[in-house]
Amino acid sequence: MYLVSKDFLETSHGQLGCINCHSGENLPTQEQAHATMNPYPSEDNDGVCAQCHVGVTETYASSIHYNLHGMENGLMSFASTDSMPDSPAHAEVFDKNCMSCHATCGECHVSRPSNYTGGLINQHEFFKTPPMEETCYGCHGARTAGEFMGEVGFSGDVHFELGMDCMDCHNIDNFHGTGEVGERMWDEALPSCLDCHEEEMSGNSQIEAHNAHGDMLSCQVCHAQANNNCFECHVTYNEDKSALKSASDSKLMFRIGLNPNPTEERPYKYVTLRHIPTAANSFDTVEPNMLPNFDNINNWKYSPTHNIQRSTFQNESCESCHDNDKLFLREEDIIESDSKENLRLIVPRP
């Protein structure tokens, strides 16, 4: 009764029977019955889930939630190496640290992510739409989901306060993938504020500030709050060297900087930035000088901060932003271990 409720037995998954998904044997003792049991049947993306949900598993195989291509490509860009198989040290870092964020079907739809707390969400109940507090928060709680829910920072997001969750803005393709291998998160069709607030587009808005700033600012510059920034991440082996643990320092900050990579979707000159914890010597425990390209890639990154409020301290008046030097990325914000590329994101003082 702890693992399986009576109600579950009446569902389509419950009627399949335990062995159909978990293997094992119908034998009288627990030891015999569990000898060949698989406690995590969805780890094989082509396995039991694909028997009924082949369309989903086929696209999920190329999604960044499953293969973590965004993290892999980010690591390799700092490393200045085209192929991870060509560098066993980088492959070790990826496999023993980065891949802990990899999510299986089960880790969203029936249990919590294993790198969070693991365990069934509710007595083996399958959720077509996973509960955000138990799943999304498990992997994204330190930043986006935590900020959205008000668990990190000063207050949550107005959309969360109105009862919305991640799935109300993010299309299912952002989770299951499209079948195309994405290089990074930004390659996906991500939600925009204007999807719902088209009337606030510059030139059409009844709010003077929206028309005055045009495409100069991302919406978050005026409507986001302080976000969680991490510094000085370094990895260490666990006792048997089967995994690499990481630790960093964090600080709530709000910084506006120049857009690192203007695109048609995000043409803004000024955006909110977030510091990622990578340092040039983050992986020296594994092998020295693993990130030779570090100073050519900024580690203050474009941030679609998920803690939106209509009224914020920086939009109270023109002066609260334009005359507030503390809001903008300055040279003194660039610490000794930062990439030199961050210098091009600094907003010049007037």
Degrees, nearest 5: CA angle 255-257-258:
165
CA 180, CA 203: separation in Å to the nearest integer? 36
Regarding pTM above 0.75, the answer is yes
Please, what is the Cα angle at 272 between 271 and 278, to 5 degrees? 115
C-alpha neighbours within 13 Å on the C-beta side of residue 298: 20
- Going from the C-alpha of 285 to that of each of 62, 236, 239, 279, 324, the distances in angstroms are 31, 6, 13, 13, 41
Is residue 228 located within the same domain as residue 141?
A: no
Task: Report the sign of the C-alpha dihedral through residues 298, 300, 305, 311, in that order.
Answer: negative
Query: What pLDDT is attached to residue 1?
Result: 52
Q: Is there a single domain that holds both residue 202 and residue 107? A: no
The pLDDT, as a whole number, for residue 2 is 63
Q: Closest Cα to residue 91, out of 347, 299, 290, 330?
A: 290
250 in the same domain as 179: no
**Pair 240, 326 in one domain:** yes
pLDDT for 4 equals 87
- Tell me which residue has tokens 């369309």: 55
Out of 156, 191, 226, pick the residue that ends a domain. Answer: 191
> Does residue 273 sit in the same domain as residue 185?
no
Please, what are the averages of pLDDT over each run of 10 residues along the chain (350 residues)? 82 92 92 93 94 95 91 88 82 90 93 88 94 93 93 94 95 93 84 93 89 92 96 94 92 96 94 95 95 95 94 94 94 95 92
- What's the domain count of the chain? 3
**CB-based contact 185:304 (threshold 8 Å):** no
- Residue 332's pLDDT is 94
How much is the CA Rg of the chain, to the nearest whole Å? 23
**Are 4 and 140 found together in one domain?**
no
Same structural domain, 133 and 153 = yes
The range of the structural domain enclosing residue 18 comes to 1-38
Q: Characterise 297 by phi-psi region: left (phi > 0), alpha (psi -120 to 50), beta (else).
A: beta
Specify the pLDDT at position 181.
86
208 and 348 part of one domain: yes
| Domain boundary pick from 144, 174, 191 | 191
**pLDDT number for residue 100:** 85
**282 and 335 together in one domain:** yes
Q: Give exposure, 118-134, as e/b (b: 16+ Cβ within 10 Å).
A: eeebeebbbeeebebeb
Asked whether residue 34 falls in the same domain as residue 44, the answer is no
pLDDT at 240: 93
Statement to judge: residues 55 and 167 lie in one domain: yes
* pLDDT confidence of residue 186: 85
Among residues 148, 175, 191, the one where a domain terminates is 191
pLDDT of residue 237: 96
Beta bridge partners, 245, equal 236
Closest CA to 42 of 31, 52, 28: 52
Residues 331 and 200 in one domain: yes
